[in-house]
Structure 1
Amino acid sequence: MKHIVFLSLILVPCLSFAAKLKDVDVESFKENAEVCVHLSGEWDAELPDENKMEIKENMNDVCGKAKKLYPVLQRRYKHDVAIKKLLLEYKDIKNYKHWD
């Protein structure tokens, strides 16, 4: 009985930490992907150069982060239906090319 109590005291925090790590990864991806999509809709060739540069810099940041996390989440949560659905919503992130 002591061993069960001891193991549960060790395992419960570990499982909780793993769940929080998952939440952080997924939330980070989702936030970056949403901003990436938003910024891509802001782009207009007729914008002043200063605005174009700002959008490019922001897109390189958030789209790059989302693109980097995409395969990580795909591998790490390949059996999680909800995450697979989320990744499918943002599948175009994989094709993002860095602005120069």
Structure 2
Amino acid sequence: MKLVFALLLSLPLLAGAKQKLPADVAKFIDNAEMCEHFAGEWDENDKARQRDITQAIEQSCGAAQQQLKRLSVKYAKQPAIRKVIDQHANDAVRSFRTQGKAD
């Protein structure tokens, strides 16, 4: 119970930390989190749901991957911000490939 209470008390601190980031970095984090979420939602049994998931993956992962490239250059000389960016550059973002794109 104490652990749950401690976690609830720390939520505003985590939200505050995200608010102190530059807006473009905060948007990248949102896209990266959504990318990872939808990448884990694969469901071959429901074709309609799968189409929705695929569309969400393409949107969030594609945006996050483009942002990652741009932000890595923009914040190259700001190690604290680069660390946050790198921490959120999950496997789903780094490995995303658009449909029909050749490697």
TM-score clears 0.5: yes
Unaligned runs of 5+ in 2: 1-20
Q: Deviations over 1:48-80 (max 9, x none)?
A: 100000000011111110011101110000122
Please give the alpha-carbon distance, in whole angstroms, between the structure 2 residues aligned to 1:35 and 1:69.
Answer: 14
The structure that is helix-richer by fraction is 1
Please report the RMSD computed on the Cα atoms of aligned residues, expressed in angstroms: 1.8
Tell whether 2:62 aligns with 1:64.
yes
Please give the alpha-carbon distance, in whole angstroms, between the structure 2 residues aligned to 1:97 and 1:77.
Answer: 24
Match of 1:32 in 2: 31
Q: 2:72 aligns with which of 71, 74, 78?
A: 74
Q: TM-score, normalised by structure 2?
A: 0.67
Q: Please show how residues 4-23 of structure 1 align to structure 2 within 5 Å.
A: 23=22
Please give the alpha-carbon distance, in whole angstroms, between the structure 2 residues aligned to 1:51 and 1:30.
Answer: 25
Q: 2:84 aligns with which of 73, 86, 94?
A: 86
Which residue identity lines up with residue 26 of structure 2 in the other structure?
E
Q: Is the 8 A contact 1:63 1:96 kept in 2?
A: yes
Identity between Structure 1 and Structure 2 (%): 28
Unaligned runs of 5+ in 1: 1-21
Match of 2:42 in 1: 43
Match of 1:98 in 2: 98
1:81 deviates by 1.9
Which residue identity lines up with residue 23 of structure 2 in the other structure?
V
